[in-house]
Structure 1
């Protein structure tokens, strides 16, 4: 990372990106209207001691085929994340603001508090969810997830706080590969706080049309990559049409946002990335990314970094100031352009304009 080359002037075409607006702050998700069940009526106690997993599943399974709403009153509900709460299609899990789902400590490396697997039209709203990282009884693995969304469509997670998971607060991905790949599609993450998780605040692997808005991903630490948001499909399949808007990424031990190959049409718009130990955002050979109107300050490395054959990136109208705090005082202006923006020598088709840097002499810099 530290060997990234300083920018060299060159004339390139502005990258082309998808123009159709597919995202919405009020996505259409079809939930069953005629059935509502309270988890307490199925035996959930919410006393912080009793295992309430079976009661939650009984409530979900009692809904008709058309779905409905499961209400969760205030309380601390202990959940076996090895068995998980398994969502059904056309179902809403509605938590009271003072309701918490808490993972019963386990020793396994792979578990999920809530599974949203191969279903459509699901909403998870309100309350909080707590992992077992402080009480975890094992030492291996990094896949203790809060909400695990796999090969699912039309999913909304709204107003939920997730903290202290052995792996990721939220994971979005697929099943299969190649001709059998079944990606998650049209997933909206809104008003979520994902804090102090061990691997990632949010992971996005093969998926399409994921909108993350008005959310906070903070203080990820414990096992690499330790990013706020990690978009890393690699060879499993493509990830495209991802919009990260008006989010806060701060205090993560790795990068605020980390991106890898096999991605395209990634819009990073109006976010705040500060106080991350790594880059504000790092693209490792990543393509077709727009950075617009972001405030990226006081990160340990540069605000934006690109390595390998990163290409077709557009960086415009951002505040990229007082970064590289692992080597420079964050309160001191000046330094080279690479203090805030580092692009490797193999990167191409990168357009830069209209940004504010630590050293004002670069504010007119275009590429």
Structure 2
């Protein structure tokens, strides 16, 4: 009896220690989940009638105090407008703009003509023209600003210097075909930082109705800026990106055509990639992307990014490296009502949307929303992550797949077989590896497809023909 009592005391002691370890090593939320067997859910969102998070931000537009216009006097300032004498053009054009700033003109208009600019600043940077705060810089019809041929890694054809700036109605031309790609000390020759418009540490900016092309880097680089809008621009044939966002809050990219980005990686239409910076509240809507070598939109660091109502086409005689749409699992995206068309795929196959991941914590608990997209000849794949709300999409001729994924909500989607890969038809459907969630109302062709996803038990259904 004494032995039995001691044994019971030991058991109770062990149970007490075990519970103590649980209580002290788990958060209150974690402990509640253990005790209640609660299923995993993402954060609740404020949703619209279609089930998408309501966008609660907008870029603040620049406001000019009053319209006080100065049309640059070419004769007075001795400014060539025949695409010649870059040194004289740069010095005198900048002098005219500086004078207009000092005289407090809010609108400065560049007359018709071709202006060749460039200034050797240091070993790596070649200067162009600066536009100051509280200025609307307007190109007259036929006005073109071109950077002179140079051998620098970095340049800005137009650099914004201050807040509250509008640039509109003109053409900015780079010199990618004549650029001198001198090797650096490390032997590299990328020269990928020659930009059309540099938006660096600016607030309240509008870039509208501009043609920006043939630069060695990006059509525009947004660096640590807030409230920037790109609207109705034609951005094309730049070597690195159409638009790069490297630290940006409340950025809107709407109604633009961004195409034929090619030459040096990443080669995307829009790239959100500011490690160590803040990229959030970004709208990419109603744009036409095509013939972009890397892809159309990549989000590596952005949160609360809305990708809506865009048309993305691989284009004839073009091949994607990664895209069209790429995100990383620590980002947060709302991807809806886009029409994506692929021809022969990328390094990832024919995936219209892929979420890359190396695993680990996301850093947030929000779901990625993928709603009402039409994916022509392509599908989507997310892995090593959690929280996706995928509804009413059409994946025509490729698969919808999740691997090592928690909480995938898959409702009312359509997947169709590939018309060209008839021997692998089973693979072009719904594919799962170690995934949890909920599925309902999904079709494979004309047949309702029962997908036995569970909120608690991981489910696997791999392709039996060619493996995962």
TM-score by length of 2: 0.66
Could you say which residue in structure 2 is the equivalent of 1:36?
70
Aligned partners of 2:296 and 2:258: how far apart in 1? 8
Aligned partners of 1:295 and 1:159: how far apart in 2? 24
Distance 1:196 1:36, change over 3 A: same
Could you say which residue in structure 2 is the equivalent of 1:216?
257
Aligned partners of 1:257 and 1:168: how far apart in 2? 14
Q: Is the 8 A contact 1:271 1:294 kept in 2?
A: yes
After superposition, the C-alpha distances for 1:173-232 in whole angstroms (9 at most, x for unaligned) are 12xxxxxxxxx1111100111101000011001110111110011111111101111000
Asked which structure has the greater CA Rg, the reply is 2
Measure how far apart 1:284 and its partner are.
2.2
SS in 2 for 1:362: strand
205, 209, 217: which one aligns with 1:155: 205
Aligned partners of 2:169 and 2:65: how far apart in 1? 16
Aligned partners of 2:112 and 2:131: how far apart in 1? 20
Aligned partners of 1:45 and 1:243: how far apart in 2? 40
Could you say which residue in structure 2 is the equivalent of 1:170?
220
263, 268, 282: which one aligns with 2:326: 282
Q: Is the 8 A contact 1:15 1:351 kept in 2?
A: no
Q: Is the 8 A contact 2:57 2:281 kept in 1?
A: no
TM-score by length of 1: 0.83
Q: Which runs of 5+ in 2 are unaligned?
A: 1-38, 46-52, 120-125, 183-188, 398-412, 417-440, 443-450, 454-468
Between structures 1 and 2, the one with greater helix share:
2
Distance 1:361 1:187, change over 3 A: closer
Could you say which residue in structure 1 is the equivalent of 2:391?
353
Distance 1:15 1:116, change over 3 A: farther
Could you say which residue in structure 1 is the equivalent of 2:186?
none
Could you say which residue in structure 1 is the equivalent of 2:195?
145
Measure how far apart 1:18 and its partner are.
6.2
Measure how far apart 1:32 and its partner are.
5.0
Could you say which residue in structure 2 is the equivalent of 1:46?
81
Q: Which runs of 5+ in 1 are unaligned?
A: 1-9, 175-183, 324-339
Q: Is the 8 A contact 2:62 2:165 kept in 1?
A: no
1:266-345 alignment, distance < 5 Å:
266-275=305-314, 277=320, 278-298=322-342, 300=345, 301-308=350-357, 309=359, 312-323=367-378, 340-344=379-383
Aligned partners of 2:258 and 2:396: how far apart in 1? 25
SS in 1 for 2:95: helix
Measure how far apart 1:361 and its partner are.
4.6
SS in 2 for 1:222: coil
Aligned partners of 1:313 and 1:67: how far apart in 2? 46
Q: Is the 8 A contact 1:15 1:288 kept in 2?
A: no
69, 73, 77: which one aligns with 2:107: 69
Q: Which runs of 4+ in 1 moved over 3 A?
A: 10-19, 64-67, 363-367
Measure how far apart 1:286 and its partner are.
4.0
The structure whose RCO (Cα within 8 Å, separation 6+) is larger is 1
283, 288, 297: which one aligns with 1:248: 288
Q: Is the 8 A contact 1:39 1:71 kept in 2?
A: no
